[in-house]
């Protein structure tokens, strides 16, 4: 899993900040989610009792596949 930095490149040499609306849209599309290092999605039941792990916004497997399909 990789982390999404708040700054993304939208065109060669053009950078923009990832907004809360961008994160929500990626979550709704199933392309991103706030997960911990064990894959627990923030807000869902944590079966591993790892509540101290930080949750970071990350691209999901579906998101990585969408990028690969678009390339």
Q: Distance between CA 60 and CA 63 in Å, rounded?
A: 5
pLDDT of the residue at 3: 57
Q: Which residues contact 57 (CB under 8 A, 6 or more apart)?
A: 3, 4, 18, 23, 26, 32, 33, 34
Q: Is the pTM of this model over 0.85?
A: no
3-state secondary structure of 5: coil
Taking a C-beta distance cutoff of 8 angstroms, is the pair 21, 48 a contact?
no
Q: Please list the ranges in the chain whose pLDDT falls under 50.
A: 1
* Bridge partners, residue 8, by sequence: 16
pLDDT digits (tens, 9 = 90+) for 38-53: 777 887 877 776 666 7
């Amino acid at each position: 899993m990789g982390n999404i930095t708040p700054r993304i490149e939208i065109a060669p040499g053009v950078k923009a900040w990832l907004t809360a609306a961008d994160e929500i849209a990626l979550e709704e599309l199933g392309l991103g989610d706030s997960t911990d290092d064990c894959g627990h999605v923030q807000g869902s039941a944590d079966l591993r009792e790892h509540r101290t792990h930080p949750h970071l916004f990350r691209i999901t497997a579906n998101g990585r596949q969408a990028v690969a399909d678009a390339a």
